[in-house]
Each structure stands twice: as structure tokens, then as C-alpha cells.
Amino acid sequence: MSDNSGIMILAEAPNGKITGLTTELLGAGRRIADIAGEKVSALAVGAGLSGVEAELIAFGANTVYTVDDPSLGRYTGDAYLSVLEKVCQQLTPRILLIGHNSTGRDLAPRLAFRLRTGLAPDCVDLQIDNSTGALVAIKPAYGGNVMAMLASKSQPEVVTVRPKTQEPLERDAGRSGDVVKLDLGLGTLASRAKVLDRIMHTYTGIKLEDAEVVVSGGRGIGGPEGFKLLEELARSLNGAVGASRAAVDAGWVPSDMQVGITGKIVSPRLYIAVGISGSVQHMAGCSRAKTIVAINKDSEAPIFERAHLGVVGDYKNVLPQFHETCRELLVG
């Protein structure tokens, strides 16, 4: 065994604001660090990071390391890879947690391979083995029909963590921690893959990932018109509209509305699945919702095994009255 120690998380703060996923990683890091009796550090890589350090401490970091460089403002493969490789060699963390988002997917496999260590990708749960103190990471396979428990023999143990699976800590500005600026002496950082352009979606209304209520429609909606009913309901409930891949593939709604293993991961207070059968690939994106409601005309649909509440019926007959009663309850 090497003498690596501590848990490090890779923080992301585009535009100087830490992401929700970063707070989730800190929450997970804190939880396992407390069991294992270790410390949590956050590594922030970017350009213009002042102010970010205090936020990371408020969300649970004992130490914040920053690599602040104008060329690191946005993720690019080779540059971030060099930074992370150097940091891991210098600071020798035992566990490195990275979010399983576009950055983590791109970075983690090459990094782990380069560090001569293992990788547990897209994990939904992290445990510490009571007898050995080793990290065990749980990863869904076969779309979520199977769970695999992965461990590592080499360090750092690199884990990418699926968004919305870990509880962040309450923000507490009273927490204290150290800030260390790293000078890695890497010289000019360039990546062979150059970013020519970034085209961002524009949103009207609430973002799907942030919504407290999500109303999603599937193939059972039958066409784009049906989604109007869902939009009206979502508006009344102050929520956002999502969709299954079947609805996206049919061209009824744009692909950024897709919920699931290859779409958005959401964890709202309330998830209403309308005309969605409940495939594992879809449920992987919403199974962390506090309350799942199914409206489906087939009482045998698998969604009824995953939902908390359900109505069996044609959504065209169910939704208008449901909307009406919700509205009455909300004003009343």
C-alpha cells in the first residue's frame, strides 16, 4: 500500500460560481472522510477563482487548492489532464472524486490510466469497507438492472460520481479551511483538441435539472400537441417538462428534454411520468425523485413498480381534471 491519504474532489466553477455537482461531491467526500477519519480537499482549476475558495469551504472542504491560469477558464482535455496528473503526483490523495459530467467523462479515464491506477466510472453510491477502510464504489450496469461493487488496488482511487446521487451539506459560512495556491510550473498549457465555438441552449422558464417538479411525457403522449397539456401543468406546478427518449426520437420534443441514462439526471421533489413505460434507461434519470407519479393506461407497465403513486388511465382523460384539482388546491 502506498501512503496516499485524504479525499480530493475536483471542483468546477465556470463563471466563478461552483456547480451543484461540486457541492454534491463535497457532500459525498465529507461523508466518507468522516467514516474513514480523513480530510477533504477541493481542487479548483480555472481562471479567476477568487471567491470560489470560500464557497468550497462553506460546503465542506478542509483545504482548497487552486490552479488559477487564464488558459484554464474552460475544460480542454490535454491541459486539464496535465494539471490533474501533476496535482495527484504532488498531493497524493487516496481518493479522487470527479463528477460524471462532460468534464469527468472526458478526463477521468485518461487520467486514471496515466496515473497507473483504476477507475470506477459513473458511480451512484460510495461506501467505506468497515474492516479494511477501503472505498467501495457502486456502479449500475445493464442500464441499472445490475449493480456492481468496484474497488481499487492502486491509488488514487479515481471515481466519477453520477450527478444528483449525493446529498450536499448545508452551506455554512462559519466553516473554516485553508487555501493553497498551487504553482505547478507547467508552462504554457495547450490542448490538441481546440475549442472553436460553444453553442449554448437558451432557456425560457425553469431548467429541467433544477426544477422541483418535473412533468415528463413519453410515447404514450402520441404527438407534439399532447405535450402542450404537460407544459400547462408544469407551469401551474412551477416545474419543467421532460421526456422519454421515445418522445425525443419521434421528434416531438428537442433532445435536451430527454431524461435518462443518456439524457438529463433529475431529482425533483415530484416527478410525474405520463405515458412512459418505465424502462431502466429512463428511470436511471429520475429514480432519485422524492415522489414519482405514474399516469399510464396499462396497469402492467413497469413504471408502476417504480412509482409511489399512480393512476391507470388514458392521460387525455386524467390530466385535465388532475390539473384542475391541483390548481384549486394551490390557490385554496
Partner 1 sequence: MNIIATVKQVPDPEAPAGAFRIGPDDRVMVSPTVSSVLSPYDESAVEAALQLRDAHGGKVSLVCLGTEPDDSFLHEAMATGADEAYLVVDDMFQNGDAFATAYALSKAIAKIGEYDLIVCGRQASDTDAGVVGSVIAESLGLPSATVIRKIEVVGDKLNAERVIEDGIEVLELPLPALLTMTSELYTLRYASVMDIMSASEKPVTIWSASDIGADAVELDDLANRSILRKQFIPVSQTQCEVIGGDSAQEAAANLAQALRSRKVI
Q: Which residues bind ligand FAD (CB under 6 A)?
A: 139, 141, 148, 218-220, 244-247, 258, 260-263, 275-277, 279, 281-282, 285, 295-298, 301, 314-316
- Residue 320 near which of ligand FAD, partner 1, none (CB within 5-8 Å, type-dependent): partner 1
CA separation for the pair 112, 128 (Å, rounded): 20
Q: Does 117 bind partner 1 (CB under 8 A)?
A: yes
Q: Least distance in Å: CB of 179 to partner 1? A: 27
C-alpha cell at 183: 504553482
Amino acid at 174: G
Distance (Å, whole) CA 154 – CA 226:
52
Residue 102 touches which of ligand FAD, partner 1, none (CB < 5 to 8 A by kind)? partner 1
Q: How far apart are CA 36 and CA 238, in angstroms?
A: 41
Q: Which does 235 bind (CB under 5 to 8 A by kind): partner 1, ligand FAD, none?
A: none
Taking the least distance from each CB to ligand FAD, the nearer of 23 and 279 is 279
Query: Per CB under 8 A, does 293 bind partner 1?
Result: yes
The verdict on 307 binding partner 1 (CB under 8 A) reads yes
User: Using the rule CB under 8 A, which residue among 270, 273, 276, 286 binds partner 1?
Assistant: 270
Least distance (Å) between residue 314 CB and partner 1? 7
As measured in angstroms, the least distance from the Cβ of 43 to partner 1 is 20
Residue 96 near residue 157 (C-beta atoms within 8 A)? yes
- Stretches 23-31, 65-73, 181-189, 255-263: which one binds partner 1 (CB under 8 A)? 255-263
Q: Is it true that the peptide bond before 268 is cis, omega within 30 degrees of 0?
A: no
Ordered DSSP codes for 225-265: HHHHHHHHHHHHTT-EEEE-HHHHHTTSS-GGGBBSTTSB-
CB of 182 to ligand FAD, least distance (A): 31
Verify binding: residue 88, partner 1, rule CB under 8 A.
no
Residue 35 interacts with partner 1 (CB under 8 A): yes or no: no
- Among 17, 224, 255, 298, which residue sits at the site for partner 1 (rule: CB under 8 A)? 255
Cβ closer to ligand FAD: 69 or 209?
209
User: What is the nearest approach in angstroms of partner 1 to the Cβ of residue 134?
Assistant: 9
Interface of this chain with partner 1, residues 167 to 206, rule: CB under 8 A: 191-201, 203
Contact between 9 and 42 (Cβ < 8 Å): yes
d(Cα 161, Cα 114) in Å, to the nearest integer?
20
142 binds partner 1 (CB under 8 A): yes
| Residue showing cell 425533483 | 268
Residue 151 interacting entry, from ligand FAD, partner 1, none, C-beta within 5 to 8 Å by type: partner 1
| 302 vs 273: CA distance, rounded Å | 12
302 near partner 1, judged by CB under 8 A? yes
Give the position of cell 470527479: 98
* Rounded Cα gap, residues 100 and 53, in angstroms: 22
Q: What is residue 112's three-state secondary structure?
A: helix
Radius of gyration (C-alpha) of the chain in whole angstroms = 22
What is the largest distance, in Å, between two alpha-carbon atoms of the chain? Answer: 66
Q: Which residue bears the cell 453510491?
A: 125
Distance CA 73, CA 82 (A): 15
Looking at the Cβ atoms of 87 and 272, the one nearer to ligand FAD is 272
CB of 298 to ligand FAD, least distance (A): 3
Is residue 121 involved in binding partner 1 (CB under 8 A)?
yes
* Residue number with CB closer to ligand FAD (27 or 239): 239
Please give the size of the binding site for partner 1, defined by CB under 8 A. 89
CB of 20 to partner 1, least distance (A): 11
CA dist., res. 19 & res. 22, Å (int)? 5
